[in-house]
Structure 1
């Protein structure tokens, strides 16, 4: 049980290093003498139908998926921290309003609406990050709200209120610092959820689009010929699975620690 966290951290670090190697591998350079060639010393993961190195393309796709996943997780965690903390601390109408918004986002078909929104933004990375974050924050916000409801009667919170601290200052200076372990654990898990969601949207054609590359677009492009040219499909699929596994192991370990 205790080894899951280090194992997830090591695996995630290895994937980050692989993603960083993408630009050095020259994935957009064409090898006109190798079209859909099998893996070799010259091309570790083979080449695609245009003669591009699949290793470099996979590293580039992994890097973009990581950027989208990390950006969406950080934005979602920030939204959840603010909404959950104020809902839990203030209560009343603020609590009901913010949690009603969270309930609506949880109930509606998130994948369908995310596909519609992602299609409308044209696969641009910043807007795709925002779309994914909108559907990730409600669950974390509820956990933050529950924690803040238990903390608002703590002595340090009462002392701050007696000193004349405003609700914003109480939340920012006294409540949120106590929620950092919880937020870090949930953010780690949200990275995996965001990467999986982005890959699914890109696979369906609603996420990243050419000339951009992500793990989802590589999987989508390789599935049609997966039985004939498996190296076009397997590397991206295996890296996606490894990334989800790393985030899950690390996030679960952090949650247990919290």
Structure 2
């Protein structure tokens, strides 16, 4: 049945295929590429594509292809964990608030609403320069401001689910609240959380690229797609085009995956 929905949904097929291609290029490309991202070719400064450098070189003699693969890998290694952590936070906060109700629900939702009214990108931009750079800091920092809207949706669905007969029966039998949530509530929310996680990847990668573009995220000597786009504005069209095109391809792929999951997991939508 699910296989039939996948076959009917173009997005459910195109998204994973494009994402698999991106991952293969980003993580497998450096193994076969002739240049490393930190190599310098002192005989080629600011050159266009050639047999020696497939996407050309920067004004400092670095290979554009190798830099782009390195930047995309760094952006993915930040964006994917940040998205998964954000979705996990939303699942925990939403289910606990919706299932417990009362004062705990009010407290959690008050904190959620407080974070919602904060200008998240501005807060992250202020905090990031004051912390050590790199993925270990950017991942939790981005995740901390990406979970609130989903948490409210999860809470509303949990309030509805806790009135279902099988949940009420488990409660009357004395099953603990954490076990009820894990065994009876979260499985009903799996499709929502899967779609949310996939779409959050694109949001996190775009946010990281924006921070790095402004010099507030990944810092030299390392690179990400954001730093390459910023460098490409001055270095030349090949650096800018390669980084911007790769960013667009990644965001398109994860969005197609999210839309495909929604088509497959929600039969009422139908495949398109």
Aligned to 2:256: 249
Question: Which of residues 182, 188, 199 is equivalent to 1:189?
Answer: 199
Superposed displacement of residue 14, structure 1: 1.0
Superposed displacement of residue 22, structure 1: 4.7
Cα distance in structure 1, aligned partners of 2:29 and 2:104: 46
> Is 2:143 the partner of 1:143?
no
Cα distance in structure 1, aligned partners of 2:25 and 2:130: 31
Aligned to 2:3: none
1:204-223 matches, cutoff 5 A? 204-223=214-233
Superposed displacement of residue 135, structure 1: 0.9
Find the residue that maps to 2:9 and give its secondary structure: coil
Aligned to 1:60: 70
Which segments of 5 or more consecutive residues in structure 1 lack a partner in the other structure? none
TM-score normalised to structure 1 length:
0.94
Question: Which of residues 185, 192, 201 is equivalent to 1:175?
Answer: 185
Aligned to 1:119: 129
Cα distance in structure 2, aligned partners of 1:93 and 1:245: 41
TM-score normalised to structure 2 length:
0.90
Superposed displacement of residue 2, structure 1: 2.0
Alignment check: 8 A CA contact 1:219 1:236 kept: yes
Question: Which of residues 12, 17, 20 is equivalent to 2:19?
Answer: 12
Find the residue that maps to 1:21 and give its secondary structure: helix
Find the residue that maps to 2:226 and give its secondary structure: helix
Cα distance in structure 1, aligned partners of 2:48 and 2:121: 35
Equivalent pairs, count? 255
Question: Which of residues 24, 35, 38 is equivalent to 1:28?
Answer: 38
Cα distance in structure 2, aligned partners of 1:111 and 1:64: 20
Alignment check: 8 A CA contact 1:186 1:255 kept: no
What's the C-alpha RMSD, in Å, of the aligned pairs?
Answer: 1.4
Question: Which of residues 167, 171, 177 is equivalent to 1:157?
Answer: 167
Find the residue that maps to 2:132 and give its secondary structure: coil
161-170 or 234-243: bigger deviation:
161-170
Aligned to 1:234: 241
Alignment check: 8 A CA contact 1:23 1:56 kept: yes
Query: Which digits, 9 at most, give the CA deviation of each residue in 1:48-69, with x for residues without a partner?
Result: 1222111011011101101111
> Is 2:90 the partner of 1:85?
no
Find the residue that maps to 1:34 and give its secondary structure: coil
Q: Where do 4+ consecutive residues of structure 1 move more than 4 Å?
A: none
Q: Choose between structure 1 and 2 for higher RCO, CA contacts under 8 A separated by at least 6 residues.
A: 2
1:66-105 matches, cutoff 5 A? 66-105=76-115
Cα distance in structure 2, aligned partners of 1:60 and 1:191: 18
